[in-house]
Amino acid sequence: MGNPFGFMEYQRKEPLCSSIGERIKNYNEFHTPLSEKEQKIQGERCMNCGVPFCQSGMMIGGMISGCPLNNLVPEWNYLVSVGAWKQAYERLKLTNNFPEFTSRVCPALCEKACTCGANGEPVTVRSNEYSIIEQAYSEGYARPQPPKVRTGKKIAVIGSGPSGLAAADQLNKRGHSVTVYERSDRVGGLLMYGIPNMKLEKHIVNRKIDIMKAEGINFITNADVGKDISAEDILKQYDRVILACGASNPRDIAVKGREANGIYFAVDFLKSTTKALLDNNLTEGTYISAKDKNVIVIGGGDTGNDCVGTCVRHGAKSIIQLEMMPKLPETRAENNPWPEYPRIFKTDYGQEEAAEVYGNDPRVYQTTVKEFISDENNNLTGAVLVKLKFESGKMTQIENSEYTVNADLVLIAAGFLGSESYISQAFDVQTDKRSNIFTEKNSHKTSRDKVYTAGDVHIGQSLVVRAIREGRDCAKEVDFDLMGYTNL
């Protein structure tokens, strides 16, 4: 470690946020990075502890503890502390294909498992990572590095989200020829259209895609394999195929009045805003707008929060965010010890913004929609909400707890049920009871010869960092299958 007393001498310091009043005026990222000197001091806080839970990526208590990519966190924390930025970049890239994404959108599982955090404030691992990768771009050593030798093997990756991109990146580095098919008009999948600009500006995605193109990866957009392009044709053209299509089948809610106009899935709402921003600078009438509307967001996770933050920027009249579960405690419960992931109350950026703009936290706990109300033209006008209680292992409605609220726009952010069935049917691969593509344990090989799978379509909805790990593991398996050995 650079300074054995750093964790005692220095306090945790994070990048500054723009004021809420300023940042809601646009859709840009709103964190100001620390100076190089300040970031080096934060690197000094790393204890280089004997058992670095930060990089473990283990399942503890049913949740992931530490980084699923097994990033060499203490190593590059030390290198940051002594200003060895290029070496830090090289250590970071050994395990993470896309630190420019994870340093912006990852919930920092590493920090939750940091030993410093057991009795104080954890090391700023994510902002250290951000500084490493942005330094690499500014200094020019994140430049394209195409493989010197090609194997002659051809691989198709269906889907350009984080798992598909990771698999493509790994296999291309090995020398295989990789083509990535994306059904949307832009590359990136979830990174492009599922995560709003405030968390990940799209020029950051394009910057990396341009490097991957320069390294020899071929991208084909507006290519919906299984519909517009035959799965059989793909199988004939390529030596191996990887299905990395994401968990894009949103969970619906079946209540009276669901067919009313003004009810959308969150993923469609977020995509419409991002696409309009990129296509026409958010011209009115080209996206699903929350302007001057009473909004209900159903779902308390990251996607629900992203909807809240987007609605604030649209200029919504009011926002309610419904959560079925009770409010979490402010500190760890006795049955949730470190280094388990902390099940504690947090307020994310969208909720902070809504609280300041509307005067109160938008979240309403242990509540769901019982009925939607519409006018004679079937346009949404309100919703009947009902309180919930947990008993006998399930959530039940509390009698006589209903109340009615105004609503012009409802966004359903209740998670996903797995992949869309047409892709698994097109490739004739087996699925599990959750409609994810089935493989044997610790494998990415599907029930059909030559076809592999990775990411959310394989394991269900998860984190970007875990999707990257899925793509890397799948690439290693495919490479071994093709070559008889692997050095990935």
| pLDDT tens digits, 321-354 | 999 999 999 999 999 999 999 999 999 999 999 9
The pLDDT value given to residue 473:
98
One-letter amino acid at 406 equals N
Percent of the chain with pLDDT over 70: 100
| pLDDT tens digits, 23-80 | 999 999 999 999 999 999 999 999 888 889 999 999 998 899 999 999 999 999 999 9
Pairing between strand 154-158 and 240-243?
parallel
Among candidates 68, 40, 41, 32, which has minimal Cα distance to 53?
68
One-letter amino acid at 101 equals F
The pLDDT value given to residue 1:
67
Average pLDDT, the chain: 96
Among candidates 101, 88, 108, which has minimal Cα distance to 39?
88
Q: Are 69 and 468 in contact (CB under 8 A)?
A: yes
R_g of the chain computed on alpha carbons: 23
Contacts of residue 254, defined as CB under 8 A and 6 or more positions apart, other chains included, come to: none
Among candidates 141, 138, 142, 190, which has minimal Cα distance to 164?
190
The pLDDT value given to residue 3:
83
Q: Which two tokens stand for residue 233?
A: 């044709």
pLDDT level of residue 12 (50, 70, 90 thresholds): very high
One-letter amino acid at 159 equals G
Reduce the DSSP state of residue 404 to 3 states and report it: strand
Spatial separation of the C-alpha atoms in residues 288 and 88, rounded to whole Å: 43
Per-residue burial over 296-307, b if 16 or more Cβ lie within 10 Å, else e, is: bbbbbebbbbbb
The pLDDT value given to residue 484:
97
Spatial separation of the C-alpha atoms in residues 420 and 475, rounded to whole Å: 23
Among candidates 425, 421, 418, which has minimal Cα distance to 232?
425
Reduce the DSSP state of residue 472 to 3 states and report it: helix
Q: Are 98 and 69 in contact (CB under 8 A)?
A: no
Among candidates 196, 409, 412, which has minimal Cα distance to 290?
409
Among candidates 51, 211, 168, 69, which has minimal Cα distance to 126?
69
Beta strands in 62-169 (DSSP E): 63-65, 154-158
pLDDT of 391 over the 90 cut = no
Q: Are 161 and 189 in contact (CB under 8 A)?
A: yes
Contacts of residue 243, defined as CB under 8 A and 6 or more positions apart, other chains included, come to: 158, 159, 423, 424, 427, 429, 437, 446, 451, 452, 453, 454, 457
The pLDDT value given to residue 188:
98
One-letter amino acid at 392 equals S
| pLDDT tens digits, 64-100 | 999 999 999 999 999 999 999 999 999 999 999 999 9
Burial of residue 278 (CB within 10 Å: 0-12, 13-18, 19+) is middle
Q: Are 342 and 332 in contact (CB under 8 A)?
A: yes
The pLDDT value given to residue 416:
87
Among candidates 102, 17, 108, which has minimal Cα distance to 352?
17
pLDDT of 186 over the 70 cut = yes
- Which of these ranges, 43-52, 167-176, 276-285, 297-306, has the smallest mean pLDDT? 43-52
pLDDT level of residue 392 (50, 70, 90 thresholds): confident
C-alpha triplet 475, 481, 482: angle, nearest 5°: 90
Angstrom CA distances, 146 to 143, 188, 199, 207, 212, stand at 10, 20, 29, 16, 9
C-alpha triplet 154, 160, 166: angle, nearest 5°: 70
pLDDT level of residue 248 (50, 70, 90 thresholds): confident
Contacts of residue 419, defined as CB under 8 A and 6 or more positions apart, other chains included, come to: 245, 246, 247, 248, 249, 431, 435, 436, 437, 456, 457
Spatial separation of the C-alpha atoms in residues 469 and 484, rounded to whole Å: 22
Burial of residue 400 (CB within 10 Å: 0-12, 13-18, 19+) is exposed
Among candidates 221, 195, 181, which has minimal Cα distance to 426?
181
Q: Which two tokens stand for residue 374?
A: 């519409």
Q: Domains in the chain, please, with CATH?
A: 6-139 (1.10.1060.10), 154-248+417-483 (3.50.50.60), 263-412 (3.50.50.60)
